[in-house]
Structure 1
Amino acid sequence: MVALSTAPAADWRLAVVLLVLGVAAVLVSRAGRLPVAREQALAAVRAVLQLAAVSAVIALVLRSTPWSIGFVLLMFAVATFTATRRLGVPLDQLGWVGLAVAAGAAPVVVLVLATGVIPFNGPGLLPMSGILIGGAMTAATLTGRRALQELRAHVGTYEAARALGFSGPEAIRLVVEPSSGDGLMPGIDQTRTVGLVTLPGAYVGVLLGGGSAVDAGAAQILVLVGLLAVQASTAATLLRLVAVRRVLPLELGGLAR
């Protein structure tokens, strides 16, 4: 028996539902005096246009493994640039932020492909790589922003540690380490509550594609545990780079000298 796809049909019905939902979001925001109605409308329109364009490109890219690899590299570049901007560090530190993102995502992608858990082709490579790179970007952003906030707020602690004989990197780590795990908590909580609070994207995606519940569970647990490894490696690498002054905003450039 062939499983039927339960994915939504891309026809006029979907267009009507999207329009109704978008208008509802705007009207409710206005009625509730939430100052985001305009942003919601723009976000919805952008999402439709961007996904339409990306879907057309991906449909072509998935047919070729080399093109899929190229698209993965593009996703990595965008993720690195986005994380760098979110951290508020100079663009000449882009390579170091990219190193942190790659340190998390690359080993896990290689592992799942090398073992054959995910097939080395476009449909296998692209979705998994995108999820893992996105997770690494999020970990770099959340961990880095929190570390830099702590450094700004506790410059006195840093200077006191230096006065006591700590090296610059040691003093920075003394400041940032107490909150170093905060950026990983969303991923940990999602993994801890999967199936009880939410059914995350990979699970729903397999079900919508006609896969069995077992297949969906296998895909989702691979994603979640993979993300734990990705985000831990990215966070640890980025914190190390912050400590040795490879990733620091200009106003904190005098630290660790």
Structure 2
Amino acid sequence: MTGRLPRGAGRHWTDLQRPGHLVPPPVSTAAIAGLPEPARRWLGRAVPPGTPAWAVAELSMRGEIRLGGSWCTFSARQIIAPGIGFVWAARTRVLGLPVAGYDRYGPGGGELRWRLLGLVPVLSAAGPDITRSAAGRLAGEAVTVPPACLGAAWSEGPSPDTAVMSWVLDGEREDALVRVDPEGRIQGLSMQRWGDPDGTGYGRHPFGVSLSGETDVAGVRVATVLRAGWAWGTDRQAEGEFFRARIDDVRFR
């Protein structure tokens, strides 16, 4: 899945593949039993005991992303290793012209690199703020790799159907409040993610993802429909939504 990746993303993609050369040991009943009840309800259904404890996933997806005031269709591939890093490489069109690039996060920090026509830089960014925002993204998107979420720190949520999933990334704790339905399907998550959604300066802002649909991959149940945005849970949620996607393919490593 690394063919034709944007320049600069291929090496990081390969690095993230390395933990997955061997089939990992199976998930144990004990690993799930100690979780808060909503997390146990979700992961007990999504990752039944005996399922390999996959730590990395490669995803293919299609959807729409809002750029400026317009929704643009995109196709993308992603590799994600919760607690470690991700590369999200995508292609879209802006005003009819092709734009391709990637977002990534890993030991070297966070980075955005996007080019028009494969030549003209349209967005290049790195540094502490980009890294912190990307770390929050990784913490939230960990739910696309349910077995890896057993490696997070878990605590009770404020309501019977919620639990808090926590990761420490670059020395900062990132908390995501996960919502689970009575049958054990994950419905979404919300968090205070580092970013600058209003162009007024970086800080922690409400961010969230709704999750629906489901597919079974190697015994793991994965949500396949995602909608995400800033101002989640506020009266500006519709305005803040900027991402809609359907996962077409999942491969665990």
TM-score calculated relative to the size of structure 2: 0.27
TM-score calculated relative to the size of structure 1: 0.27
**Structure with the higher fraction of residues in helix conformation:** 1
More relative contact order in 1 or in 2 (CA 8 Å, sep 6+)?
Answer: 1
Which one has the largest radius of gyration? 1
